[in-house]
Structure 1
Amino acid sequence: MLTNRDIEELTAFRRALHAHPEISGEEAETARRITAALQELAPSQIVTGLGGHGVAAVFDSGTPGPTLLFRAELDALPIQEINDVPWASQIAGKSHVCGHDGHMTMLLALGRMLARQPVAKGRVVLMFQPAEEDGSGAKAVVADPAFEQIAPDWAFAIHVEPGRPFGHVATCAGLINCASLGLKIKLTGKTAHAATPEDGTSPALALAALLPRLDALGHGGALDDSFRLVTLTHVNLGEPTFGIAPADAEIFATLRTTGDAGIASLEAEARHLATEAAEAHGLEVAFEVHDHFAASINSPEAYEVAVKAMDSLNISHGTEGVPMRASEDFGVFGWGARAAMLCLGPGEDYAALHNPDYDFPDDLIPLGSAIFERIARDLLGPATTT
């Protein structure tokens, strides 16, 4: 159980994190702050440098049993914050407007409770992962050889999701977050003087033909096996000048499906269309993949464990608004464990995630950590005292 002093200290810590955001792959100082806070709790082990700047604290009971992993994210976003609060971001163009500062603090709150009353069996791993926002962090953590020693049997995460009543949790068994990737398509021809465009090879016509074909690959719909969505997010042709017929064009497209096999198929189709258009117009084509997220799937067993924990705490929950089109790289931890993601509401009219006016509501810290603790006690039990 958290004390009033815990809440005050954790709130101050969350706000310090908020004031010093670091984006994906750059979370060195955030990891240092987390490591220092964990050292005060004297866990059995602290593993650093996981998949980059990842940090894991292991609370080992010393008695055989399953391993539970609770995950939070270290990274912030490249967004300029506009909140007028004392703890607003001190780093220009970067901010914690996705709630990751709050997620980290909920794990530290759980760590305080585990330090005071250890679990009876098994291990609890508090996983602070890097680079969630670009989809690379969880994969890098799981691929790190050091992860093998803490690989979990169960994995849980909470993400704050505006639009839901305060303290209400939305979750479900099965799909919870879609798979997605960003596909960058570059078409290259040859420049020419605008007075003699025939001397060059412009990608303009290929671009005009390709955009509607890409868009037609997926228009969304119900989140079932047939769901496919292609969102054109950026297009660029040539230079902003009147004297040069262009040689280069770029398309950024976000592809989204309900499963990892579906995203691979959709990507192959998009690449085929781009290659066809390039060949038809005498262009070279190149591709880059960014922000590749696996689908997040809640196992039925982990979902039931979470529901039982919330029921015992009288926390409102339901399946409204899930699964979601948005992506989350937590699903990678579910490749080797029974996993569940919970979406915790900060209020129906609360600022949306990734908006410059978002700030994590500190009143959710004890609520989220209580859910985590209840899950840990239900699966591993409280330590007996004599």
Structure 2
Amino acid sequence: MLTNSDLIELAEFRRDLHRRPEVSGEEVETAKSIVAALKPMSPTRILTGLGGHGVAAVFDSGNDGPTVLFRAELDALPIPEQNDRIDWPSEIAGKSHVCGHDGHMTMLLALGRMISRQAVARGRVILMFQPSEEDGSGAKAVVADPAYQEIKADWAFAIHNAPGSPFGFVSTRAGLMNCASLGLRIKLSGKTAHAADPQDGVSPALAVAKLIPALDALGQGEGGPRNDDFRLVTITHANIGEPTFGVAPGEAEIFATLRTAGDEKMESLEKTARSIAIAVAEEFGLGVAFEVRDHFAASVNDPDAYAVATKALDAIGVPHGQESIPMRASEDFGVFGWGAKAAMLCLGPGENHAALHNPDYDFPDDLIPIGSAIFERIARDLLGTA
């Protein structure tokens, strides 16, 4: 059980993390802070450098039983914070914890305090602080790390805060929780020319004008992600040539984010998008190249893990339902579900709370005891108490 002193210390730790955000792949100091916070809990083992800068604390009962993993994310976002309502704003220009990962990490540390004081009876608890969630690469890197095989989970759970839901309300369901998504960079190559003689070059301008609506038409998000055929294509960036008046452009690029209601649909959508780009490039005499970025697998809740989670919610009186899910937004936690029974829970900070990735978002510290209590009940339901 957490004391008032615990809650004060944990809130201050969360605010310190908020002041010092590090983006995907750069979470060196954040990982060091987590390790320092874990050591007084005397876990059986602390693993570092997992999949990059990942940290895992192992609390081993010494008795046979399943391994239950609870995950939080280390990384922040490349978003300038704009929030004059808090006394702990980001001190790193252009970077901020406006997705709540600082709060997610702190909930895991709160769980660690409780497990360290009253051990589980069997099996192992793993506190997994995962790097690079925001670009979709972290969970895959952790699971592929040979060191992860030593602590491979049988069960995996995560909580993500979900603005728009009532404070303390959990949204979850069996099946799809978060859509699959993929960032497709399309580069068109032609030939520059003097702006006075554009016929001497090969401009990608008209190709871009044709390609953008063609990609957009591939998916408008009809029916939402509960529809198995849900597809959404969002153009997030486009650039043609250089910002000058004397040169007809010779190159262009388009960034398109593709979303589908499951991994199996993504391959088809990506193939179609590439085919359209190739056809348009050929029509205008252009070269075309592709690059995939920010590739997220769908996050799908296992029915058994969902049942364990909702039983725990009922036991401690946390209201729950299936409002606002599955989400269009992606989450790479689903990768842990490839080898474990996994479930994601979405915890509400309030209907009027600033949205995720808004420059004025801040994680509510009052969610820390709720989230950690949910995790602890799940752990004890699966592993008992020594």
TM-score, structure 2 length as denominator?
A: 0.98
Q: Which moved more, 1:17-26 or 1:218-227?
A: 218-227
Distance 2:244 2:28 in 1: 42
* Number of the residue aligned with 1:129: 130
How many residues of Structure 1 are paired with residues of Structure 2 in the alignment? 383
Structure 1 unaligned blocks of 5 or more: none
- For residues 164-214 of structure 1, the C-alpha deviation after alignment (integer angstroms, 9 at most, x for no partner) is 000000010000000001111010100001111111011112112211211
Distance 2:121 2:238 in 1: 56
Distance 2:109 2:207 in 1: 53
Counterpart of 1:259 (choices 262, 266, 286) is 262
- For residues 295-343 of structure 1, the C-alpha deviation after alignment (integer angstroms, 9 at most, x for no partner) is 0000010001000000000111000111111100000000000000000
- For residues 14-41 of structure 1, the C-alpha deviation after alignment (integer angstroms, 9 at most, x for no partner) is 1110111000000000000000111111
Distance 2:359 2:338 in 1: 33
- For residues 118-172 of structure 1, the C-alpha deviation after alignment (integer angstroms, 9 at most, x for no partner) is 0000000000000000000000000101000011000000000000000000010
Which AA in structure 1 matches 2:316? L
Distance 1:297 1:142 in 2: 17
* Number of the residue aligned with 2:208: 207
Structure 2 SS opposite 1:62: coil
* Residues 108-123 of structure 1 aligned to structure 2 (within 5 Å): 108-123=109-124
Distance 1:105 1:202 in 2: 52
Shift of 1:86: 2.2
Which AA in structure 1 matches 2:358? N
Distance 1:50 1:78 in 2: 22
Structure 2 SS opposite 1:254: strand
RMSD over equivalenced CA pairs, Å:
0.7
* Number of the residue aligned with 1:23: 23
Residue 270 (structure 1) aligned with residue 277 (structure 2): no
Shift of 1:368: 0.2
* Number of the residue aligned with 2:93: 92
Shift of 1:244: 1.0
Counterpart of 1:364 (choices 359, 364, 367) is 367
* Number of the residue aligned with 1:182: 183
Structure 2 SS opposite 1:372: helix
* Number of the residue aligned with 2:154: 153
Shift of 1:238: 1.2
Residue 333 (structure 1) aligned with residue 328 (structure 2): no
Structure 2 unaligned blocks of 5 or more: none
* Number of the residue aligned with 1:380: 383
Residue 61 (structure 1) aligned with residue 64 (structure 2): no
Shift of 1:373: 0.1
Shift of 1:344: 0.3
TM-score, structure 1 length as denominator?
A: 0.98
Counterpart of 1:303 (choices 289, 303, 306) is 306
Distance 1:263 1:237 in 2: 27
Distance 1:256 1:324 in 2: 11
* Number of the residue aligned with 2:46: 46
* Number of the residue aligned with 1:294: 297
* Number of the residue aligned with 1:320: 323
